[in-house]
Amino acid sequence: MYLAIREMRFAKARYTLIATIMVLVAFLVLFVTGLAQGLAYDNAASVKNMAATHFVLEQDSNHRFTRSQLDQNQVEKAGLIVGKENAESLGVKMTTVVPLGDTEKIDVTLLAVNLDGWLAPTVTEGSPISDQTKGHVLVDQKLSDSGVKIGSIIVDQASGTKWTVSGFVKNESFSHTPAVFLNKQDWLNLQAQTLTRQGTGSAADSKVYNAIAIKASKEKVKELQSALPNTEVIKKSEAVSAIPGYKEEQGSLLMMIVFLFVISAFVLAVFFYVITIQKTSQFGILKAIGTRTAYLARSVTLQVLVLSVGSLVLSVLLVQLFEAVLPSSMPFQLGFSTLALTCASFVTMSLAGSLFSVWKVAKIDALDAIGRTAA
């Protein structure tokens, strides 16, 4: 304690330099983490928001909602096993809409859910829709940036179906596109229209959904899996990472974060190692006059701790400042738990980086002090 603090006070320039590097690295770590979190949420908000534990998808759909097709039969079967109220059919379709009287096209994802059930989103503005209302949808707040208001009519490009915007929901998106919620009736109508347009099949067998959202225990899930042939039951997290682009995006960001952690550990390790080598004879003298190795090791560790915690505090402040001035369209999300976890890992990595120096300090022999002309 005594030594560590006084040394930092004495060699201000040296420690300020390393602290600056640490602040920058820590800032980058926090920023990229926040961005990764923000992007993850922005990408998969709707699925993440769902209270489901598992999803039932068609076999060989590669965990992707958009590739899977299930019929009403399977929905009912699933309802029998896990309980009718714990199984909700889900329709997912990525499409392009145009607000009526406008030319700007918007990519959206249609989500067909039971609007009286537990998949229904919370309406933040406007009025909610029910399973009975026809031709009405709830849209994500982001659409208001494109001029969509309550009462606006949006037209589905593929089918030509028109919907009236009844209300807005917040933070609902799928694969980075804003979500549009519609009820089952409208979903089935849409299916029928699309099929008619394509000229395949008939309206009768068009009761098609993409997935079944399930709330169930592990045992029930196993039972479900064996009861429904040609399906697979996947966890919510698996469904999230199978959203187009999700895994790739998160993977590269995660790689950056991991690299930053490793870099910060190495920067500290090298810095303290060089300083320690420079101070070998000093440590030798300290040991000769009776300083215990543990005391010196603690001293080095404390310096690393002060540096990493200090730079973390600064960079957390910086990130918060940044967050305040960032445009709202920038997906940035740094919750307390993520922040705490990131900070803890940062400090841990820094301490790991100091181990090398501590080992070096432990190896220095007090005998070095005898017969030396210069320190």
Partner 1 sequence: MKKRLILQEITRTFEDGGIEITILDKLDLEVAEGELVAVMGPSGSGKSTFLSIAGALLEPTSGHVLLDGESITGKNKQELSDLRLKKIGFIFQSANLIPYLKVEEQLVLVSKLAGMEKAKATKRAKDLLDKMGLSHRRTAYPEKLSGGERQRVAIARALMNDPAVLFADEPTASLDASRGLDIVSMIAKQVKDQRKSAVMVTHDDRILPLCDRVLFLENGKLVEKKEAPQSTFHVV
- DSSP one-letter string for 176-206: TEEEEEE-HHHHHHHHHHHHHHHT-S-GGG-
User: What residues from 138 to 167 belong to the interface with partner 1 (CB under 8 A)?
Assistant: none
Q: Where are the alpha helices (DSSP H) in 228-328?
A: 236-241, 246-278, 280-288, 293-325
Helix, strand, coil: what percent of the chain each, to 5? 55, 20, 25
- DSSP one-letter string for 60-106: TSTT-GGG--EEHHHHHHHHHHH-GGGEEEEEEEEEEEEETT----E
Rounded-to-integer distance, Cα 303 and Cα 4, Å: 6
Among 103, 226, 329, 373, binds partner 1 (CB under 8 A): 373
The reply on whether position 280 binds partner 1 by CB under 8 A is no
Backbone angles phi, psi at 206, to 5 degrees: -95, 10
Which pair of structure tokens corresponds to residue 85?
């109220």
The reply on whether position 14 binds partner 1 by CB under 8 A is no
Closest contact distance (angstroms) between CB of 291 and partner 1 is 6
Q: Say if CB 38 and CB 331 are below 8 A apart.
A: yes
Torsion angle (degrees, nearest 10) of CA 249, 253, 258, 262: 140
Q: Say if CB 26 and CB 334 are below 8 A apart.
A: no
Closest contact distance (angstroms) between CB of 338 and partner 1 is 38
Q: Say if CB 172 and CB 181 are below 8 A apart.
A: yes
The reply on whether position 242 binds partner 1 by CB under 8 A is no
Adjacent-strand bridge partners of 169: 123, 140
At which residue do the structure tokens 């005998």 appear? Answer: 367
Nearer to partner 1, 53 or 299 (CB): 299
Query: From residue 285 to residue 324, what is the string marking binding to partner 1 with x (rule CB under 8 A)?
Result: xxxxxxxxxxx-----------------------------
Nearer to partner 1, 80 or 294 (CB): 294
Can you count the helices (H) and strands (E) in the chain?
Answer: 10, 13
The reply on whether position 278 binds partner 1 by CB under 8 A is no
Closest contact distance (angstroms) between CB of 8 and partner 1 is 9
Nearer to partner 1, 4 or 233 (CB): 4
Nearer to partner 1, 101 or 290 (CB): 290
Closest contact distance (angstroms) between CB of 294 and partner 1 is 8
Nearer to partner 1, 141 or 282 (CB): 282
Nearer to partner 1, 218 or 372 (CB): 372
Scanning 6-14, 143-151, 200-208, 308-316 for contacts with partner 1 by CB under 8 A, the matching segment is 6-14
The reply on whether position 13 binds partner 1 by CB under 8 A is no
The reply on whether position 347 binds partner 1 by CB under 8 A is no
| Site size toward partner 1, by CB under 8 A | 28
Nearer to partner 1, 67 or 298 (CB): 298
Nearer to partner 1, 1 or 325 (CB): 1
The reply on whether position 360 binds partner 1 by CB under 8 A is no
Binding site for partner 1 (CB under 8 A): 2-3, 6-7, 9-11, 282, 285-295, 366-367, 369-375
